[in-house]
Amino acid sequence: MSDLLIEAEKDYTGEFLKAKKVQRTKSFLKGVLFLLPSIILFSVFLFYPLFKTIYLSFFLTDSSGATTVFVGMNNFKAIFTSPLFLKSLEVTFLFVLYTVPGTVIVSLFLAVLANEKLRGIGIFRTIFSSTMGISVAAASVFWMFLFHPTIGWLNQILELFGVEAIGWLTDPDWALISVSLSTIWMNVGFTFLILLGGLQSIDSYLYESADIDGASYFYKLRRITIPMLSPTLFFVITVSFINAFQTFGQVDMLTRGGPQNETNVIVYSIYQEAFMNYQHGAASAQAIILFVIILLLTLVQFKLGERKVHYQ
Amino acid sequence: MQHVEMIDLEKSYDNQKNVLNGINLAIEEGEFFVLVGPSGSGKSTLLRMIAGLEDITGGILKINDKVVNHLRPKDRNLSMVFQNYALYPHLTVEQNILFGLHAKKVEKKEQQKRLIETAEMMGLTELLKRKPKQLSGGQRQRVALARSVVSHAPLCLMDEPLSNLDAKLRAHMRIEIRRLQKKLGLTMIYVTHDQVEAMTMGDRIMVLNDGKIQQVGDPITLYNEPANLFVASFIGSPKINLGTAVIRDHHLIIEDSIHIPITTSDIGNIIQKDDLTIGIRAEHIFHGEEDKKTHELEVINVEHLGNETLLTFEIGKELWTAKWLGQWRARVGDKVPVKISVEHMSFFDSKTTELIKPASNTAKEQEVVAI
Ligand SMILES: Nc1ncnc2c1ncn2[C@@H]1O[C@H](COP(=O)(O)OP(=O)(O)OP(=O)(O)O)[C@@H](O)[C@H]1O
Ligand SMILES: [Mg+2]
C-alpha cells in the first residue's frame, strides 16, 4: 500500500518536471521572439562589424579593404611603436580630461540655476538646452566663425581688452583647447537637460525640512542636491566619457587633426588611416584598442561609482 | 504666555480665492493644539504658514509676541514633522537626526550628547547606522520625531504624522507623542483629519472647514456643544444623528415621523418653531424598558463591536444609529423599544446651521468626571 503511494508520488514529480520544462521552453521561445528584431539589428550593425574589425586587424589590406596578407599581431605592434598613434592616444586622453569635467560642471551649474523657481525661468531652460538641437556640423561652422583669427568675435573681444590675438585653431598650444571648448558647448544642452530632470525629481520636502533646520544654500547643495543627483550625474559622466572618446565631427570640421597632430584624436586617426592611407588593417587595430580602452574605463567607472552613487 | 498668535490671517495661492480666511487664534505655551478638518480645508497651508514655508497673504503672525511674518523658517525657532517624514534617503538615521545640528554648527560633543539622549528616548539606538529605506513605517516615523526633538526647538509642528501607520501602531504613537510633548514641555501644533486623533490628543482643538474656523475648544466642549452642524457631524463616532424638526402644539416633530411632547422647560429659550435641525448622539438613544419606552423603531442594520452594539433605524429619510452597551441579539426587521428624550437633543438652525441650544442633559448621564 505504502509502496504504491510512493510510486504514485514519484510519477507525479516526473510529470511536474516535464510540464515545467515545457513551460520554460515555451517562455524562452516567446522571449527570443520578442528579442528577435533587436538581435537581428544588433547582429547586422554591431556584432558583424565588430567581428569583421577584429578579423581585419590581423591582416594587411589593399585600398578597397580586401585582405591580402595575414600578419598576426604585427598591426598592433606597429601601432604601439608609432609615435603618431601614441600622440593621438595622448591627445584623446587630454581631450577627455578637458571636456568631461568641463561639460558636467558647466551643465550642473546651469541646471542648478535653472532649477530655481523664478519668473520666466522657462526661457532660460530653453536657451540652455537648445544646443542639443544643433548638429555637430552646424555648431562647428558657428564656432569656426568665432575662432576666426581676424574677424572672429573671440579675437575681437580680446583686442578690446588689449590682449594679443590668439590663433585658436592654428596655434598648437591652443587648438585642442579650442576644440574642447566648442565640444563642451555642444554637449552642454543634452547634459543640462538630463541634470535638470534629475534635480526636479528631488522631493521639495527635503529642502523645506532643511530650511527649517537652518541649512544654508551651499550646505543644502552639498548634503542634499549632489548626493540625490548622484545617479543622474553618474549616467551623465559615463555617457559624456564615451562620447568624448568617440569625438570625430568637430575635429574634422575645425582642425582636421592639425596643427602638428595636436587635435588628432583616435577616431580621427582611425579615419585617416582607413580612408586616406587605405590601411584598413591598421585602422581596425586602432579601433579595437579604442574599444578596449572605453570598455575598461567604463568598467572601472562602474566599480568606483557603485560605492559613491546613491540609488533611491 | 501666548506662544503663537494669529490675527486675521489670510492665504490665497496665485491671487485666486482665499484658501484661508480670517484666522484669529492664540495658542498657549506648552499646549497641545490640534488642527482638524476635512481634506482640502487648509490645515497644511496654515501649518506651513506658521513654519514660514508659505508666504502670508494677509494678517499678522506672532511667535513669542514678536511679529514673524517676514522671518525665514530657520529664524522662527521651531521644528516640523512632515506628513511623509521627509527623511533624507541617502543619509543614515544618525546623519538624518544630526542634519540640523550639523547645519547650525552645534559643537560636536553637544551633538553626540543630544543624539544619544534622543535615540534612547525614541528607541532608535539599535538603528542609527541604517538607511531610511531599511526601516519600517513606525521606525521612520520615530526618526522624523527624533529629528524634531533633537533640535530642542520649543515649538513643534506636525502634519498628519500618523496617517501612514496601521491602526495599532497609530494608537501607540498617539500616546508616545503625547507623552513626549508633556515631558519636554513643547508647544505642539498638530494637524490631522482624523477626529478620533484630535479628540484623544488635543488640549484644545480647532475645527477648520473651507478655510474658516468653525470652532475652537477643548474636546469635551466640542463634543457636547458643537457650534454648528458641521462640527456636530464632524466630531464623534458614530456620527451624531440629525433630523429636521418643527415645533407644533407642544410637540416636537422630527422628520415627520417622531413626535415628542415638550414643555417650555425642555426647550428653554427657543422661540424659533420652524427650520430646526436636532442632533442626538448615538449613546443617547436608549433601550426603552417596558414602561419607559417612548417609541418603537424598526432595526435595519446591526453591528456588533464586542462590548457595544450599534443599531441603525430609519427616521424619515435619515438613518439614525443607537449605541447600546453590551451585546444585543437584535435582528434586522425587529421592532425595538427605544427611549428618546428632548433633554439630550441639541437644536440647530437649519438655515444658518448655527447652534441654538446645546443638549441640556449631557453632564448627568454622560458623567464628565473631574478627577
Ligand atoms: N500650491 C498650491 N497652489 C494652489 N492651491 C493650493 C496649493 N496648495 C494647496 N492649495 C489649495 O489650498 C486648499 C487647502 O489645501 P491644504 O493642503 O492646506 O489642505 P489640507 O487641509 O491640508 O488637506 P489634506 O487633509 O488633504 O492634507 C486646497 O483647496 C488646495 O487645493
Ligand atoms: Mg494636508
Cβ pair B206, B35 in contact under 8 A: yes
B164-173, B196-205, B332-341, B356-365, range with the lowest pLDDT? B356-365
Burial class (CB in 10 A: 0-12, 13-18, 19+), B259: middle
Mean pLDDT of B268-289: 84
- Count residue pairs from A and B with Cβ separation < 8 A: 63
Give me the pLDDT at residue B124, please: 87
C-alpha cell at A244: 568624448
- Compute the distance from residue B16 Cα to the ligand 1 centre, in Å: 13
Q: Strand, helix or coil at B308?
A: strand
- Does the pLDDT of residue B140 top 60, yes or no? yes
Q: Is B134 on the interface with A (CB under 8 A)?
A: no
Give me the pLDDT at residue A311, please: 66
Which residue, A258, A108, A124, is CA-closest to A192?
A: A108
Nearest-CB residue to B53 (from A203, A206, A211): A211
List pLDDT tens digits, range A44-96: 999 999 998 898 888 888 877 787 888 888 888 888 888 888 889 999 999 99
* Domains present along chain B, CATH in parentheses: 2-229 (3.40.50.300), 238-370 (2.40.50.140)
Residue A61: which residues within 8 A CB-CB, separation 6 or more? A67, A68, A278, A279, A280, A281
Neighbours of B124 (CB within 10 A): 21
Cβ contacts of A203 on chain B, cutoff 8 Å: 84, 86
Give me the pLDDT at residue A9, please: 59
Q: Ligand 1: does its nearest atom lie under 6 Å from the Cβ of B13?
A: yes
Q: Does domain A81-308 have CATH number 3.30.10.20?
A: no
Kindly list the distances between the CA atom of residue B314 and the CA atoms of A164, B9, B247, B297, B319, in Å, as whole numbers in the listed order: 97, 43, 21, 8, 5
- Domain residue ranges in chain A: 2-56, 81-308
Give me the pLDDT at residue B136, please: 86
The protein residue whose alpha carbon is closest to atom 31 in ligand 1 is B40
Neighbours of A153 (CB within 10 A): 11
Mean pLDDT of chain B: 88
Task: Tell me the Ramachandran region of residue A108: left when phi exceeds 0, alpha when psi lies from -120 to 50, beta otherwise.
Answer: alpha
Give me the pLDDT at residue B164, please: 75
Which residue, B25, B13, B14, is CA-closest to B61?
A: B25
Cβ pair B52, B71 in contact under 8 A: yes
CA distance B338 to B322: 9
- Compute the distance from residue A5 Cα to the ligand 2 centre, in Å: 63
State the smallest CA–CA distance between residue A207 and chain B in angstroms. Answer: 9
CA distance A294 to A289: 9
Give me the pLDDT at residue B204, please: 94
Give me the pLDDT at residue A7, please: 56
Residues of chain A with pLDDT under 50: none
Q: Is B55 on the interface with A (CB under 8 A)?
A: no
CA distance B149 to B191: 17
Residue B52 has phi, psi (to 5 degrees) of 90, 15
State the smallest CA–CA distance between residue A297 and chain B in angstroms. Answer: 26
List pLDDT tens digits, range A229-263: 988 998 899 899 899 998 888 888 888 887 888 88
